[in-house]
Structure 1
Amino acid sequence: MTNTRLGIVLMLCTTFVFAMQDGISQHLAREYNVLMVVMIRYWFFAAFVMTVTARQAGSLRAAARTTQPLLQIGRGVLLSLEICVMVLAFVHLGLVESHAVFACYPLIIAALSGPILGERVGWRRWAAIATGFVGIVVILEPGWGVFDPHALIPFASACMFAVYGLLTRYAARRDAAATSFFYTGVTGGLVMTCIGLWVWEPMTPADWAWMGLLCLTGAGGHFLLIKTYEVAEASAVQPFAYFQLVFGASLGILVFGETLETNVAIGVAIVISAGLFTFWREARARRRAAP
């Protein structure tokens, strides 16, 4: 049975756990190579994914069965590289500004859903997309002093995650969710192992403890997300995913001593408003299309 209230609570818990994961990633990536940090994180995540998908599909062989292997492998590779880019953004910009810029990814999905998925994008959605990118311009402040090119790192991450999301939708037309989840974890784990082993660095016992916590928050966040979509419709809980920005910014300010600039606050408000309008339009369109 659908339980929207429980779904909202679970989504809030999910965003909190993912925000803690981002904070730990920032801490570790300041001390060690980003690729190594993401690689170890993926080892645990791949084990978690194989456990979950084997249970959902009946076996690992059933979970891995697909008629579109290149698409599924490409999705997994893209997500693993996107995580590396985002962790790099945490190191250079901090949690506040990185999350502020990354918040535009639903608008990028909306913009690319036409050429990639063949969905109709009306003028209202285009207006919301344009408004959201005005918010990004406000955050980045191009033309005020010297533009920091590091601000493009989280934007690149948002673009990569948006394409990953669209490819996931496309893959879902022919594959079960368990299959897509399997390739997300296993492919990413293999790719990051091939890359990360070359930059291995010894870690202190204390940082191994942080790494263990990073792995647990990664798996725990995905587990909560799975449970969220089991009890509630995605359209009802998706807007609450923006709370990851709130939790992440709070962590950056309270723990890492970051500041929330006025232009960032205004830009984020514009981006989130445009994103919520886009979610509302998509939910309304789905209700109209439902029999």
Structure 2
Amino acid sequence: MTESNTRLGIVLMIAATFVFAMQDGISRHLAAEYNVLMVVMIRYWFFAAFVMAVAARKAGGIRAAARTSQPLLQIARGLLLITEICATVLAFVLLGLIPTHAIFASYPLIIAALSGPVLGEKVGPRRWAAIFVGFVGILIILRPGFAVFAPEALVALLAALLWAAYGLMTRYAARRDSAATSFFWTGTVGAVGMTVVGLWFWEPMTAPDWGWMAALCVTGALGHWLLIRCYEVVEASTVQPFAYFQLVFVTLLAIPVFGEVLEPNVALGAAIVIGAGLFTAWRERQVRQG
């Protein structure tokens, strides 16, 4: 891996986090006005079209991308992801962008904690210590036992758990399927699943909000394209720490646009969670290289 590849990968990852932060802001706006299931359904229609277009351009086309020896696992992954996205968007509305992302930042720690019993990966004492410290950070964000504790925060925590489970299932699927195959099944299964549920909650949308919906679809496709390009030029472990920029961009967006406030406990807890996550990512890379 060359230094120029690493720099390009970092730039692409930061660009992707910026685009995803914009996507989250648009999702929060639309979900506050319309049913969450309908918003996610329309977003998935475009995402599925994007996934199929990407697959069609690869060698072997759509048939090669769809070929898998573990269809039930791939279907479960797709359905799990749409559940996670619906929970996350709901948390944006109930709790706000900043606290939701602060809690969501714990997902790498959840993956690390579960990778041992679920995937049989070795998790050493230093990584277990980092996981413990990270969850102390989550408790600081949630402040359980205080009058100000928001039960809505549990929706954000559920979203982080679902995303971690999706990450573990993706790792498991990768033992026999390519990334292109998993990406194809994620988009197509998700679109079918969301359509079955979301059509029952269809609401008329204003012309300006159709514009925002179009922006939501474009940011989703652009963000995934940037991630694909990023992982083509550099290893995921190299750029993973820069994924935390999404919390920074979300904060810069949420304060002026949605009037959110960065509470001291959220800032402190997020810093602890991110620090623990960075240490966990570093240890995983050390173990892989050693």
Give the alignment's TM-score, normalised by structure 2: 0.98
Give the superposed CA RMSD: 0.9
2:149 matched residue in structure 1: 147
1:26 matched residue in structure 2: 28
Are 1:92 and 2:124 counterparts?
no
Q: Which amino acid aligns with 1:230?
A: E
Measure the CA separation in 1 of the matches of 2:9 and 2:272. 26
Shift, 1:29, TM fit: 0.2
**Aligned with 1:145: secondary structure?**
coil
Q: Which amino acid aligns with 1:184?
A: T
1:233 matched residue in structure 2: 235
Are 1:251 and 2:266 counterparts?
no
Are 1:208 and 2:218 counterparts?
no
- CA deviation profile, 1:118-137 (whole Å, cap 9, x unmatched): 00111111100000000000
Residue from 274, 283, 286 that aligns with 1:284: 286
Shift, 1:116, TM fit: 1.1
Number of equivalenced pairs: 288
Measure the CA separation in 1 of the matches of 2:59 and 2:281. 30
1:171 matched residue in structure 2: 173
Q: Which amino acid aligns with 1:45?
A: F
Measure the CA separation in 1 of the matches of 2:59 and 2:240. 25
Measure the CA separation in 1 of the matches of 2:164 and 2:103. 13
**Aligned with 2:209: secondary structure?**
helix
Detail structure 1 runs of 4+ shifted over 3 Å in the superposition: none
Identity within the alignment, %: 71
- CA deviation profile, 1:81-122 (whole Å, cap 9, x unmatched): 100000000000110100000000000000010111100111
Measure the CA separation in 2 of the matches of 1:160 and 1:101. 13
**Aligned with 1:184: secondary structure?**
helix
- CA deviation profile, 1:117-171 (whole Å, cap 9, x unmatched): 1001111111000000000000011122153210001110000000100110110
Shift, 1:249, TM fit: 1.4
Does structure 2 retain, via aligned residues, the 8 Å contact 1:57–1:178? Answer: no
**Aligned with 1:147: secondary structure?**
coil
Structure 2 residue ranges without an equivalent (≥5):
none
- CA deviation profile, 1:48-96 (whole Å, cap 9, x unmatched): 0011122224221111111100000000000011000000000001101
2:76 matched residue in structure 1: 74
Does structure 2 retain, via aligned residues, the 8 Å contact 1:63–1:178? Answer: yes
Give the alignment's TM-score, normalised by structure 1: 0.97
2:119 matched residue in structure 1: 117
Residue from 265, 283, 290 that aligns with 1:263: 265
